[in-house]
Amino acid sequence: MYKINITHILLFACCVSVSADETLPIDSAAPTDGKPTAHTVLTIDHAVSLALSNNPAIQAAETSVVQQRHLVYQVTRKPNPTVGYLASEVGNEGQAGQQGVFLSQNIVRGNKLCLDGHVQQRDVSIAAHELQIRRFRVESDARLAFIEVAVTQERLKLLNRLQTSLDRAVGTVLRLVSAGESSLSASLQSKLEAQRNAMRIQLTENQSTVARRKLATALGRDTLNQPVVAAVLLPKESSIDIQQAWADVLVTSPELAVATSRLDRSQWKVRREQAEPVPDLQTQWSIQQDAATHYAVVGIQLGVALPVRNDNTGAINAARADTWRTHHEIDAVRRSLRQRLLTTVGQLQQADQQLKTIKGELESLARENLLTTQRAFALGEASYLDLLNAQRAYIRLSLDTLDLYQQRSIAESHLQTALVQATESSNAVR
């Protein structure tokens, strides 16, 4: 892989007094005094931390996990016994009859309670994996919003530098026109270029405002005024092995984990439904005092339901069908992840290839063309329109390079969050 210096994208010289080797560096140093404050720059790691700690959807998902764990305890509890008063033969021969108490207990058979616990435990796993999906989604939202803020921030630096030079060039050309050394069309062209760039600045400022509002919302803030550390746009030297990346996705993807847990749950649900026809044992014990004989009378009752009319076949077959459904759901999730991985890696490799071309060929050509045109203009061998065209080509290349950095950063963000899609589809890799 090749090394890329991101300051190159801000190399710009758009008038005779500006050298083509000047740079507009992107800040790459994080604050050294701990966590950023309102008066320091914001790093992407701190932004992600704020987003994860301030998001109510994550807190709701965490509560859901706790809820499911309590239900595991509840569904495995045995039924409560019943105790009560029992009287029979009351008034027989003017006597009080038989008076006493009874105790009844339903004994669950077929290992139903344990099976209920296994089913509910899978609901805990599903809730935990869905919590991880929510975390990755919030992190992805924060990362993509941060990248958008960083890109618009650096684009504004570049365009403002260009605007300063264009405004200076407008005055220079006006003086040349007054001296008869340049044509009126050159003056009009310089004004047009300055106004067009001013429009681009206005558009970028609006985009920056929207991006900052989105990032502030992701961080749980009302506003975001501090600058961001644009070092997030710095490409990391790495070689992506598609097979290894796919193996990593299979291990780390919470979406696939949810689908697998649902299949596991459906399989335990089949076992639970198969145990349902096993009748529970209904028991009752009683002891009474016979008022006539003063004898103690003991009663014992045992009973079971006969599964002759309902053997739970419908519920068993439905659970089996759900098992097949969840099995196909795993295949669907795998295909979706595979498609997202191929798209993301393709975008990453495409950006790398184009950046390599720019750094290896186009950048040097654009810089040489600009310097040559500047020297020719100074010697009177090139018109101002020629200089404007050279400047336009150089700045366009710089902006294209910045867009490629954004594309690459977005792709890397998707890989870091296990390909979990962001909340807004507009943040997808373009």
Give domain status of residue 1, yes or no.
Answer: no
Give domain status of residue 99, yes or no.
Answer: yes
Give domain status of residue 186, yes or no.
Answer: yes
Give domain status of residue 244, yes or no.
Answer: yes
Give domain status of residue 97, yes or no.
Answer: yes
pLDDT band at 161 (very low <50, low <70, confident <90, very high): confident
Domain span at 388: 6-427
* pLDDT at 158 > cutoff 60: yes
* pLDDT at 15 > cutoff 50: no
**Residue 58 in contact with residue 133, Cβ under 8 Å?**
no
pLDDT at 237: 60
With vertex at residue 256, the alpha carbon angle to CA 252 and CA 260, rounded to the nearest 5 degrees, is 120
Q: What average pLDDT does the segment 340-350 reach?
A: 92
pLDDT over 70, % of the chain: 87
**Residue 204 in contact with residue 156, Cβ under 8 Å?**
yes
pLDDT at 370: 87
How far is Cα 124 from Cα 415, in angstroms, rounded to an integer? 26
- Tell me how many domains the chain contains: 1
Report the CATH number at residue 223.
1.20.1600.10
* pLDDT at 36 > cutoff 70: no
pLDDT at 419: 87
Helix H or strand E encompassing 50: helix 44-54
pLDDT band at 364 (very low <50, low <70, confident <90, very high): confident
Closest CA to 14 of 236, 185, 167: 167
* pLDDT at 33 > cutoff 60: no
Judged by average pLDDT, the poorest of 167-176, 247-256, 263-272, 402-411 is 167-176
Question: What mean pLDDT, rounded, does the chain reach?
Answer: 84
Relative orientation angle of helices 313-357 and 242-252, to the nearest 10 degrees: 140
What separation in angstroms does the CA of 103 have from each of 84, 99, 296, 410?
Answer: 7, 14, 16, 68
**Residue 333 in contact with residue 259, Cβ under 8 Å?**
yes
Give domain status of residue 113, yes or no.
Answer: yes
The amino acid present at 98, given as its one-letter code, is Q
How far is Cα 346 from Cα 352, in angstroms, rounded to an integer? 10
- Collapse the DSSP code of 383 into the 3-class scheme (helix H, G, I; strand E, B; otherwise coil) and give the result: coil
Q: What pTM did the predictor assign?
A: 0.80
pLDDT at 277: 94
pLDDT at 399: 87
Judged by average pLDDT, the poorest of 4-13, 42-51, 211-220, 285-294 is 4-13
pLDDT at 62: 96
* pLDDT at 412 > cutoff 70: yes
Exposure string over 243-270, b if 16+ CB within 10 A, otherwise e: eebbeebeeebbbbbbbbbbbbbbbbbb
**Residue 278 in contact with residue 109, Cβ under 8 Å?**
yes
Block residue for tokens 């405002």: 209
